[in-house]
Amino acid sequence: MLHKSNNDAQSTLLQVKNISKKFGDFYANDTLNLSIETGKVHALLGENGAGKSTLVKMMYGALQPTSGSIHWQGQHVSIDSPAHARNLGIGMVFQHFSLFEALTVAENISLALPAQLRQGDLSQRIADLSQDYGLPLNPAALVADLSVGERQRIEIVRCLLQQPKLLIMDEPTAVLTPQEAQALFSTLRRLVEEGCAVLYISHRLEEVKQICHDATILRHGKLVAEVDPQVETAATLAQLMVGASVHQVSRDANDQVGDVLLELSHLYKGSSTPFGVDLVDVNLQVKSGEILAIAGVAGNGQGELFSVISGEECNPNQNFISLLGQISDGLNINQRRCLGAAFVPEERMGHSAVEHLSLTDNILLSRHACIDTESSLDLGWLGIDRNQLAHLNKVIGIDYDVRKSKEDAIAGSLSGGNLQKFVVGRELNRQPKVLVINQPTWGVDAGAAALIRQAVVDLSRQGSAILIISQDLDEIFELADTIAVMSRGQLSPTYAAGDLSREQIGLMMAGSHERSAQGSGA
């Protein structure tokens, strides 16, 4: 293992010295030391719950350390707020977005800018900068109507407009396509060439090797290694993060395909929002024992497709959707769950889980309409069995390694990756016959991603039909039996996974399969 040499004091931008953060008796960070240099991309690595987000929130003024100190350009500073951090020259792109859905892109960006940067034609500057960096945005679009990937672009552009000296990025490519990620990397390279420093948190270790000059690795709140990521392998980095070898997903040949359990036939659906995407003549079949993955650039109709399949948007007068042999267009999400379907949206906070409710209450929210015969969980209105809910929460926590400060923690207190493991575990625990899952491993570490992916594969091989929507081509090729691509509301034909290359998928992402739509929307 190659360890970092001593830093040149002249190039050190930010240092944390012996910094700790306690929540009650729990140490999220324990006596950490870290130096970030100008003109470099510095990776901060660790499994979910290792303390990465806590550390960077202290650098950004969103949390205050219990002990230790922060030094900015050689001077001791107490960063008491994010506004103070921004004034120093520290910008941060959070994993969870801090956006007002009822406001436009330009309005959201304006709120975070100092007065001098709001002058002139801000919308034009946003449009120009976002286009220049390969992260296109419509300044007039309402945030409520945007995909997760597009919301991520807002956070990045908002930081870049402030020309930060240190840019902290927490899982910035988790919702970007490979093409978008490469455009972001070009932006980061240009920033560091100009003397900016970047602190980069990611679970995608190959991209860490591609763009990062240094790496600090945390485990259980402690610093365990400082390495040169370009001379390590992804496997050795993952092993340092989790303290053991990472499980390799095992996927047997798909020789048990059975009946069609989910089918869409000539689905047309006009967007319910001005900035949404119309679905045009979408056809697909997912069979028992099959994993079908849908690839595509964010904002091309994947969110609208999920809403229609899950029953968040119902069309009672149509016959486009069949679940387990039953026409389901008019059924709401709970009725579809009672048929034996389960759904995991892409945005875990606020969509998959309610931030201010406990984990057991979040289990109840997705199961209250049906009696869970697998666990004999009585969810009748007059007799909710809290002991059974607590037992189920414990089982999910053990099976999916959900790390939390206490057994029935508030959902919002979990790290992003641990909340994702909880949400996926909650749905897979039901052993659904049909599972629709959007971005299965968004923002989770290598060990957790392997755990989730193996659970999805195992469920399919037990006879369930799985539909995955993902922007991660590595994930798609690891899981999928068959692949289709969505572009501007149109779905390509389905191909065997072995018959497609990344280049072919890229062409379809760009719309090579699109055709002039015939007919009218629903």
pLDDT tens readout for residues 167-181: 999 888 766 666 677
> Listing from the earlier edge strand, what are the strands of the sheet with 67-72?
26-37, 12-23, 67-72, 75-77
* pLDDT of 382: 46
CB within 8 A of 404, min separation 6: which ones?
359, 397, 413, 414, 418
From 279-283, 400-404, 452-456, the region with the lowest mean pLDDT = 400-404
Average pLDDT on 296-314 reads: 89
| The model's pTM | 0.70
Q: Is the pLDDT of residue 361 over 80?
A: yes
pLDDT classification of 246: cutoffs 50, 70, 90: low
User: Residues of the chain with pLDDT > 70: what percent?
Assistant: 91
Cα–Cα distance, 31 to 52 (Å, whole number): 13
CB within 8 A of 483, min separation 6: which ones?
292, 293, 294, 295, 476, 494, 495, 496, 497, 500, 505
Cα–Cα distance, 277 to 305 (Å, whole number): 9
More confident residue, 288 or 153: 288
Q: What is the pLDDT of residues 37-93, one digit of tens each?
A: 999 999 999 987 789 989 999 999 999 999 999 999 999 999 999 989 999 999 998
SS (H, E, C) 117-132: HHCCCHHHHHHHHHHH
Average pLDDT, the chain: 86
Q: Is the pLDDT of residue 5 over 60?
A: no
Cα–Cα distance, 398 to 213 (Å, whole number): 36
* pLDDT of 517: 43
Element housing 192 (H / E): helix 178-193
Cα–Cα distance, 393 to 423 (Å, whole number): 11
Q: Is the pLDDT of residue 520 over 90?
A: no
Q: Domain map of the chain by residue range?
A: 9-242, 247-340+432-522, 349-429
* pLDDT of 417: 81
Among 63-77, 94-108, 184-198, 372-386, the range with the most confident prediction by mean pLDDT is 63-77
User: Residues of the chain with pLDDT > 90: what percent?
Assistant: 53
Domain 9-242 part of CATH 3.40.50.300 = yes
pLDDT classification of 151: cutoffs 50, 70, 90: confident
From 271-285, 339-353, 380-394, the region with the lowest mean pLDDT = 380-394
Average pLDDT on 201-224 reads: 93
More confident residue, 99 or 33: 33
* pLDDT of 374: 46
CATH number belonging to the domain at 247-340+432-522, selected among 3.20.20.10, 1.10.760.10, 3.40.50.2020, 3.40.50.300: 3.40.50.300
Average pLDDT on 402-419 reads: 88
Q: Please determine whether the domains at 9-242 and 247-340+432-522 fall in the same fold group of CATH.
A: yes
